[in-house]
Structure 1
Amino acid sequence: MGIVLASHSVSLDGFIAQRNGRAGPLHEWLSTGEHQSRHGDNFKLSDTSRDVFDGLIDRLGATIVGRKTYDDSDGWGGELPFEWPYFIVAHEPPANADEVPFTFVTEGVERAVELAMAAAGEKDVSLMGGDIVGQVVSAGLLDEIDIDIVPLGDGVRLLD
């Protein structure tokens, strides 16, 4: 049986997205490298980042997403970001719920974890979105948290 994990890119001061919910510069490392990921044409990473990213993706068998993250991503255009089940925790499913390949869970985060763990089998379940991570932590269901601190990249250092 897999585990429930939160793996997020985080700024040094704790942010995972811009105010508007968009990924922004924190996630540029996924597309500005020279090496193609094994997991999609959209991912171009540095050699080291590719190894870390591909290793993480290889572990996953399902994802739980908060409704705000789902909405902020425009529902990924109605397509799965990766080829495994996605469970969207929502008070109410969107009007087009029957037309998209996502499972909307209205019974709470505990039920979403139960469904995702069953779907993932021996693989791990990942979490997307700060609110959903908080809910899973509060429910005592988070097994692992991986935080990737994303540097500014270039600029003036305090002590150089």
Structure 2
Amino acid sequence: MGTVILQSVVSVDGFIADEKGDVGPLHEWYFSGDVPIVVGEGDEFDHSGSGSPFKVSRASADYVRSTWESIGTIVMGRNLFDQVNGWEGRPPAGDHVVVVSHRPKPEGWHPEASYHFVDDVTAAIEKAQELAGDRIVAVNAGDAGAQIFAAGLVDEVAMDVVPVVFGSGRRFFGAISEEHLLEDPHLVIQGERVLHLRFKVRR
């Protein structure tokens, strides 16, 4: 089974968006560099909706590219799915998406896309790992991701920390209120306007 990683871009005070789901300046570093993110057959990623491909700093490029190439399945909550309309069936990385939701896939929504709606976090990770094989399962941080983390189903935590303070909003670790220990970061990369960190979850 592939590694399950809880991940997101996050403010220094631990928020992945404001109360309305607006990410503000958190994703600016994705478009402010001079290195396009190119994978596979040389196609540039362009899932931003802006008509522009992701272009990051040279310091971030290898990390972002290798991470996205290694993802097999993305796991996301229903709030994020509704907010971005499931990236119109074209996830930014990976071949499959599992949506944690008590509601089914919208009728007629991109039938060609490998999107699976599962109403239990344990079953969602099992399905995601089945689809991903040996590749990474990337769990979006937030409320659904926090439930998966609290259930002990996450192997690593990956944070792209941006130097901005939100003060309030949607938390990386959702409503978790109990202590969980991580190991020291095994990856630290300083990009431009972002710090990439990876931690293994202490068992």
User: What do residues 91-138 of structure 1 show as CA deviations (whole Å, max 9, x unaligned)?
Assistant: 1124336534211112x0100100110111111100114112211112
Q: TM-score, normalised by structure 2?
A: 0.69
Which amino acid counterpart does residue 9 of structure 1 have in structure 2? V
The whole-number CA distance in structure 2 between the counterparts of 1:67 and 1:97 is 17
What stretches of structure 1 move > 2 A for 4+ residues in a row?
77-83, 94-100
Report the AA paired with residue 16 of structure 2: I
1:97–1:104 contact (8 Å) kept in structure 2: no
Taking CA–CA contacts closer than 8 Å with sequence separation of 6 or more, which of the two structures ends up with the larger relative contact order? 1
The answer on 1:52 being equivalent to 2:63 is yes
Find out whether 1:133 has 2:151 as its counterpart.
no
Q: Which residue among 124, 136, 139 is the counterpart of 2:136?
A: 124
Q: Which residue matches 1:99?
A: 110
**Which structure carries more helix by proportion?**
1
8 Å CA contact retained: 2:74, 2:94: no
Aligned residues: 152
CA contact (8 A) 1:65 1:127 kept: yes
Quick one: percent identity of the two aligned structures?
Answer: 36
**AA at the equivalent of 1:92:** R
Q: Residue by residue, what CA displacement relative to the aligned partner does 1:43-76 show, whole Å, maximum 9, x if unpaired?
A: 1100011112112112211111100111111221
What is the CA–CA distance in structure 1 between the aligned matches of 2:129 and 2:28, rounded to whole Å? 30
Q: What SS does the corresponding residue of 1:113 show, helix, strand or coil?
A: helix
TM-score by length of 1: 0.86
Long gaps (5+) in structure 2: 40-44, 47-52, 165-192, 194-203
